[in-house]
């Protein structure tokens, strides 16, 4: 019988790519999510019955254990960018990761992969970065041979970064940017999935890997790159940090005052703290080179999915070519 991998958060942005790769590698894939009925789309990644979504709440021991019974490996992709109700940074990124690793060790699971993030640090200013580091430490405590992947900002067809800002250009004359000079090293989602696949297969040595793409650019430059791809002219507006903190406080306060009925989908105070720090691979850190992976550039991927934000969609390049011929 083929081996089994349980992927917590396997229907999410990164998780679905890992699930697809593991299915192609011949593994049975158990996708552990809170809403299995919304993860049915993962089933066609493999043969009938090869990829199955199952219910799991990583805040509950019994739920986590049921999802990994019989698994040869586990991958934890669960993470949040903002807190909401019981889904706090501590509950999801620290306690949740610890729970998965502890139960995986108790059940004799052979390998574990933890998807973390560049900037994970218990001394960081943001709770997001602090709890990512706490989760890493907990995983290594119970599964010392685990592989921890720390990607920079991840891009791809389903991302919430370039897609979000490109969508704003349809209705706004400006693209507001907090931390305009903050550096990022965007990494293609399938490159992260490939790294996770190697870890599950046992090809990657245990340890921490920081994953960044070939391009290092400021937030402002990334927005300009996006505008060039979608053929739109918009003002890239740098929002001062003091103003960003005031706005984030107001949005957070509104969410608290309404008991979560009105969610802060704009920017939180914790996100502002993150945006004030560069998000690039640390000098000397193990990365794609150690895994034998050549990361894909933004230039080769962004046009493939951002074309829909162009004024004339997929026909924009044709119109541009025709215009150049006339001139």
Q: Which of 23, 6, 22 is nearest to 107 (CA)?
A: 6
**Per-residue b or e along 179-213, where b marks 16 or more CB atoms closer than 10 Å to that residue's CB:** bbebbbbbbbbbbbbbbbbbbbbeebeeebbbbbb
Residue 209 phi, psi (nearest 5):
-120, 130
Q: Is 148 in contact with 207 (CB distance < 8 Å)? A: yes
| Rounded Cα distance, 229 and 123, in Å | 38
C-beta neighbour count of 87 within 10 angstroms: 16
How would you write the pLDDT of the chain (327 residues) with one tens digit per residue? 689 999 999 999 999 999 999 999 999 999 999 999 999 999 999 999 999 999 999 999 999 999 999 999 999 999 999 988 888 999 999 999 999 999 999 999 999 999 999 999 999 999 999 999 999 999 999 999 999 999 999 999 999 999 999 999 999 999 999 999 999 999 999 999 999 999 999 999 999 999 999 999 999 999 999 999 999 999 999 999 999 999 999 999 988 888 888 888 889 999 999 999 999 999 999 999 999 999 999 999 999 999 999 998 666 665 555 555 455
**Exposed, middle or buried, 24 (CB in 10 Å: 0-12/13-18/19+)?**
exposed
Query: CA 148: distance to chain centroid?
Result: 14
Question: What is the DSSP track for 121-161?
Answer: -TTSSSHHHHHHHHHHHHHHHH-TT-EEEEESSEESTT-SS
pLDDT of residue 167: 96
């Amino acid at each position: 019988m083929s081996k089994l991998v349980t992927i917590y958060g396997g229907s999410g942005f990164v998780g679905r790519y890992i699930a697809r790769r593991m299915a192609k590698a011949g593994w049975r894939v158990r996708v552990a999510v809170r809403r299995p009925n919304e993860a049915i789309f993962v089933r066609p990644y493999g043969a009938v019955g090869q990829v199955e979504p199952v219910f799991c709440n990583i805040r509950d021991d019994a739920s986590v254990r049921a999802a990994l019974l019989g698994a040869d490996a586990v991958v934890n992709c669960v993470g949040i960018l903002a807190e909401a109700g019981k889904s706090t940074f501590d509950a999801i990124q620290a306690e949740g990761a610890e729970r998965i690793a502890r139960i995986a060790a108790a059940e004799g699971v052979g390998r574990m992969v933890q998807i973390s993030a560049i900037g994970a640090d218990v001394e960081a200013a943001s709770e997001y970065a602090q709890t990512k580091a706490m989760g890493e430490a907990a995983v290594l405590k119970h599964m010392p041979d685990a592989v921890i992947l720390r990607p920079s900002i991840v891009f791809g067809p389903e991302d919430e970064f370039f897609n979000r800002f490109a969508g704003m250009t349809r209705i706004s004359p400006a693209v507001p940017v907090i931390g305009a000079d903050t550096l990022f090293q965007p990494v293609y989602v399938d490159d992260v999935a490939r790294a996770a696949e190697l870890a599950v297969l046992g090809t990657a040595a245990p340890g921490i890997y920081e994953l960044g793409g070939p391009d290092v650019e400021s937030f402002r430059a990334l927005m300009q790159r996006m505008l060039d791809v979608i053929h739109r002219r918009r003002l890239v507006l740098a929002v001062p940090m003091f103003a960003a903190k005031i706005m984030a406080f107001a949005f957070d306060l509104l969410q608290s005052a309404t008991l979560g009925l009105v969610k802060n989908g704009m920017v939180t105070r914790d996100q502002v703290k993150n945006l004030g720090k560069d998000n690039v691979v640390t000098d000397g850190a193990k990365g794609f080179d150690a895994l034998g992976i050549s990361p894909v550039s933004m230039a080769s991927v962004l046009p493939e999915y951002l074309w829909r934000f162009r004024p004339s969609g997929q026909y924009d390049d044709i119109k541009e070519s025709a215009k150049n011929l006339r001139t």
